[in-house]
Amino acid sequence: MRLAVILFLVSTALAADAKKPAKPANPRVRFSNPSTIAKPLSTYSQMVEVNGGKTVYIAGQVAVDQAGELVGPNDFRAQVEQVFKNIKAAVESAGGDMNSLVKTNYYCAESVDPTQISALREVRDRYINTAAPPTSTFVVVKRLARLEYLIEVEAVAVIKDK
């Protein structure tokens, strides 16, 4: 009974937090979930409208560090962490930050145990603006460019004009 009450309180708090209006990091970008299509089951926006700013396309990032070494062989969470570090470094090099992301495409190797996929959301949510999350596509693929790659993520960012 006590656990049920705690779970109810936590879920109520999370639901209330999810209803808070998004605070756009860039007033020229509007994140939305139009009422004319189904609301997402998880944290992403169905649509992003861009009005001005610099658009940056970030190639698919894999779990390779700055020295070109694979991070986290056979460790999905470690690979996701490195992928987001790479995306962050790329968007910052273009003058933006992680709030600048408007679109992410995830390519996950089918060799990844489905129970590990929740690690993707946990790591991602430490990097993105969960109040105004980028649009998102998740695809399971046979394999990636190298067998040891478990996840690849490409991104699009819109960076405010200076």
What are the backbone angles phi and psi of residue 81, rounded to the nearest 5°? -55, -45
* Segments making up each domain of the chain, as ranges: 22-159
* pTM (2 d.p.): 0.76
Least confident of 16-25, 109-118, 120-129: 16-25
Q: pLDDT at position 52, please? A: 81
* pLDDT tens sequence across 65-122: 999 999 999 999 999 999 999 999 999 999 999 999 999 999 999 999 999 999 999 9
Q: pLDDT at position 42, please? A: 72
- DSSP code per residue over 98-138: GGGEEEEEEEEETTS-GGGTHHHHHHHHHHS-TTSPPEEEE
Least confident of 12-16, 46-50, 76-80, 122-126: 12-16
Residues 162, 61: contact at Cβ < 8 Å? no
Fold of 22-159: 60s Ribosomal Protein L30; Chain: A; (3.30.1330)
Amino acid identity at 126:
R
Q: pLDDT at position 34, please? A: 78
Q: How far apart, in whole angstroms, are the C-alpha atoms of residue 124 and residue 41?
A: 16
Q: Which of 128, 130, 118, 144 is nearest to 43 (CA)?
A: 130
Residues 151, 76: contact at Cβ < 8 Å? yes
pLDDT at residue 1 greater than cutoff 70: no
